[in-house]
Structure 1
Amino acid sequence: MRPKILCLHGWGTNAEIFQIQSRRLAALLEPHFELVYINGPAEASPGPGVLPFFEGSGPFYGYLNDSSAAAEEAAGGWAEGDLDKLVSDFRREGPFVGILAFSQGAKAAWHLLRRLEEESAAADAGRSLVTPPNSQQRRVGFVVAVCGTAPYFQSAPTADIKRAAAAHVVTGVDTIHVIGDDDLYRAESEALVGFFDAPSRLAVRFPGAHHMPADHAFNASLANLIVHTFDAT
């Protein structure tokens, strides 16, 4: 049985669209992994570049409201129950060895891992020596964040974002940050790197905008890097 990777789409798309967007990389990963695509918990309007190509392919989904600083600061931008639903989907469809996430999906992956860290710490604090570990605890070893957006990026200047990242860093997960040179959200992709533990993160860049990389050679190199990262965890 192949190990599973959870695939999280961007804002205003859905699992089926992300399968199409990631098909070049997926074809190289599928001999090694089972890719599991899920929809975000919140219905959304079509995201950037979705129309007219994916006209009629809705409904469209997202994760959290980060349209403004105030919106994202309210409960982290999550509507009541939406992060719980993502955690529930993670547990129902897993276990997962990794996460492949695009755009807002990468930010959602960070929130997911933070929640799982908190739950794991709480479980550890209350666990007796004879109680076996919870089989649903986090097993994710790596995250691949493609053109990812950063938590609370609109809420503060760069210096404050760096302090927020340092205060809320996710540890124990290898990360590969795929950053487009011409991406409108490149600054957010760069900032997202700081929200993960420094010893286990890597940034790679491609000559493109806010989309999944299309170049075969780049995807082949990225797929090899993902496989190597998994083998090393």
Structure 2
Amino acid sequence: MRILCLHGKGTSAAIFRSQTSSFRAQLTDKDIEFDFLDGPHASNPAAGVDLFYGPPYYSWYEGDGIEAAREAYDWLKDYIAKNGPYDAAMMFSQGCVLGSSALILHQEETPDLPPPFKSAIFICGGPSLGVLGEMGFHVSAEARERDIASRSALELQARSSSLMAKGADRWTGLGALTGGLSEEELRNEIKSPYRISIPTVHIYGSKDPRYPAGVHLSGICEPEKRRVYNHGGGHEIPRTGAVSNSIAELVQWALKESQAS
């Protein structure tokens, strides 16, 4: 079985390989090939990344417009045509934006063709609100405000060595980003004319500034085909045994569902 791996903005395939090493170590006895690839654009490092990892750094696209998303989708389609097929895609942060946009654009433009991958594992990332708006989704003003605020909060809480030295304690003051809403209430901030129909896994942390975005993404996927997991941390993949085991189990579930579908 093969998994396409899409890193976050301002990181790289090598960095994403390192970030996922703990839970992938629980899967070494499985017949799984992880295909980590670099984005097509050179990028500045994501906030705090250069404190732990050296260059180069990449992104899948620059900007948030629909044209940038379409260009990235076309690039991804070409890569998959040459190197696929894939049973699943595993994505982090901006990789989630690309992967969810690819599924939505595919469903809108070529619904009679197989999707670019059979299941999706989204980690600490949300959808492109610009793509959703173009595709007929109703995105509330509250969801847009949370998206802007969460991006700013992530930048502030990960940009310096003094903050990073605090570890998990740097993820503070996030209650204002959710307004005290439950996950289901957050999901209802975006109204979907249709949903991503493949099996999906949604892994996010309740201390992550981008937590609302991760919940929003889960809301545009089929409830009967999704699994959600709150690892309790920030914009990261915790390496504890309990978290690693849980994520490994979810990866196996996604692959099993991809074969069933």
Residues 159/119 of structure 1: CA separation in 2 closer, same or farther (3 Å cut): closer
Structure 2: gaps spanning 5 or more residues: 134-138, 145-186
Aligned to 1:196: 221
The match for 2:59 among 57, 62, 86 is 62
Unaligned runs of 5+ in 1: 66-70, 125-133
Other structure's SS at 1:81 match:
helix
- What secondary structure, in the 3-state scheme, does the structure 2 residue paired with 1:204 have? strand
Cα drift, residue 151 of structure 1: 1.7
1:81-92 matched pairs, under 5 angstroms: 81-92=71-82
Task: Read off the aligned partner of 2:12 and give its amino acid letter.
Answer: N
TM-score, normalised on structure 2? Answer: 0.71
2:142 paired residue among 133, 158, 163: 158
Q: Does 1:180 align with 2:157?
A: no
Amino acid in structure 2 at the alignment position of 1:157: A
Residue of structure 2 equivalent to 1:49:
48
* SS of residue in 1 equivalent to 2:201: strand
Q: 1:179 to 1:45 in 2, by over 3 A?
A: same
Q: Structure 1's 165 and 216: CA in aligned 2 closer, same or farther, altered over 3 A?
A: farther
> Retained in 2: the 8 A contact 1:151–1:192?
no
Identify the residue that residue 9 of structure 1 maps to in structure 2.
7
Kept in 2, the 8 Å contact 1:24–1:219? The answer is: yes
Q: Distance in 2 between matches of 1:164 and 1:43?
A: 32
**Which of 53, 56, 66 is equivalent to 1:75?**
66
Cα separation, 1, equivalents of 2:192 and 2:39 = 27
Provide closer, same or farther for how the CA distance between residues 182 and 224 of structure 1 changes in structure 2, counting only shifts above 3 A.
same
Q: Percent identity, aligned pairs only?
A: 25
Corresponding position of 1:149: 126
Aligned-pair distance for 1:119? 5.0
Change beyond 3 A, Cα 1:218–1:100: same
Deviation at 1:32, TM superposition (A): 3.1
16, 19, 22: which one aligns with 2:17: 19
Per the alignment, residue 127 of structure 1 pairs with: none
Deviation at 1:188, TM superposition (A): 0.9
Distance 1:35 1:12 in 2: 20
**Residues 168 and 162 (structure 1), Cα distance of their counterparts in 2 relative to 1, 3 Å cut:** farther
Say what the alpha-carbon RMSD is for the aligned residues: 2.6
| Cα distance between partner residues in 2 of 1:199 and 1:95 | 25
Alpha-carbon shift at residue 19 of structure 1 (Å): 0.7
Distance, in Å, in 2 between the alignment partners of 1:231 and 1:190 is 23
Contact 1:5/1:100, CA 8 A, preserved across alignment: yes
Q: Between Structure 1 and Structure 2, how many residues are aligned? A: 208
**Corresponding residue for 2:151?**
none
Change (3 A) 1:194 1:76: farther
Give the AA of the match of 1:45.
N
TM-score of the pair, normalised by structure 1: 0.78
Partner of 1:209: 234
